[in-house]
Every structure is written in structure tokens, then in C-alpha cells.
Amino acid sequence: MVETDLSSFSNSEYQPGSFLKRSLWYFTSLLFFRTHIPWSSRLKVLLLRSFGAEVGSQVVIKPSVAIKYPWFLQVGDYSWIGENVWIDNLVNVSIGSNACISQGAMLLTGNHDYKKSTFDLMAKSIEIENGVWIGAKSVVCPGISCLSHSVLSVGSVATSDLSAYFVYSGNPATKVKSREIEG
């Protein structure tokens, strides 16, 4: 049997930005995002935009949020990003308007090919459409689309796309019921 050989792993093909850009973001992120200091969301939005993120108006970003690379991030108007959210966006993550990413949720765009001895990096974008709610401590896996107003309940793992206006729960998340929003 062939074994995994991490000594032969190479990430050289993946180039998310210059060393200087990544370094500047790293220190900015530590000071203003990955901290419990309650910096204003307005300031955080300005910083994200200065690093290439596309961020709409009235976006709320709570303390202790980790964003890998803001230049791979789009967030629509009136969306919320809760405490301790980890947006591990090696590639594009798109969050629509009026979406809620609750505390401790993880949006993961990267994975490894466990079938190869070299454990190659695989990255796929995530799309979270308008009105989606990603519950606390939930995980959205690489390549997943959460369609309009879908809900991923607390502690669930989205390993396949979520249909519009449905609630999902579990690991892997399965469709539980329809989401009906009262006016």
C-alpha cells in the first residue's frame, strides 16, 4: 500500500497574493479583527475594502473574526458576521445581503486530496445567497452553495448544496423542513 508522504507536499502553485500584501493583512487582522476589542464594524468594513473585499452597506462584523484573504470576499448589504467566525477563504467566498453567519461558524474553502500521497491542496469557492442563516458552530464545506433563505442549524455540517427556503440539520446536514418567513 502507498502511504501519505507529507514531505513531498508542495503548495507552490497556489499564489493568493504577494508576501507583502499577505503580511500587511496578517497584522491588520490581528489588530482589528482577531481581537476581543470591539472595533466598530464601520472601521472593519473600511479595512476590508482597502484590502480588496467587496462589502455592502450596514454590514455588522463582531469581534474575533478570522478572514484568511479579504481580496477573496464579497459581502452584501445588511449582513452579519458573528463572534469567532472563521472565513477560511483560500478562494472566493460570496455572502449575499441580509445573511447571518452566527458565532463560531466556519466557512472552509480548502481541503486536501487524501487519495494522493502528496496530499494536494484542493480549493473550491462558497456561495451564500441572500437571507441565508448559518447557525452557530456550523461548518460550510468547500464548493457548497447555500441558496436563498436556507438555514443551516446549530452545529451542522453542509457537505452538499442547501435548497432555497429549507432548514438543514445534522452532520452531514439533511433537509428537515421548509422555512416559512412571516411578514
Q: Please give the average pLDDT of every successive group of 10 residues along the chain, which has 183 residues.
A: 94 93 98 98 98 98 98 98 98 98 98 95 97 98 98 98 98 98 94
Are the beta carbons of 115 and 131 closer than 8 angstroms? no
- Residue 91 cell numbers, joined: 478562494
Are the beta carbons of 144 and 162 closer than 8 angstroms? yes
Q: Considering the domain boundaries, does residue 36 fall inside one?
A: no
The pLDDT tens digits of the residues spanning 67-106 come to 999 999 999 999 999 999 999 999 999 999 999 999 999 9
Coil, helix or strand at residue 8: helix
Q: Which domain holds residue 87?
A: 41-178
CATH number for the domain spanning 57: value is 2.160.10.10
Q: Considering the domain boundaries, does residue 17 fall inside one?
A: no
Angle between helices 19-32 and 41-50 (to 10 degrees): 180
DSSP 46: H
Q: Considering the domain boundaries, does residue 27 fall inside one?
A: no
pTM of the prediction?
A: 0.96
Q: Considering the domain boundaries, does residue 30 fall inside one?
A: no
d(Cα 83, Cα 20) in Å, to the nearest integer?
27
Say what the alpha-carbon torsion angle 107, 113, 117, 119 is, to the nearest 10 degrees: -30
Count up the domains in the chain and report the number. 1
Q: Considering the domain boundaries, does residue 127 fall inside one?
A: yes
Predicted pLDDT of residue 97: 98
Taking the alpha carbons at both ends of the chain, their separation in whole angstroms is 60
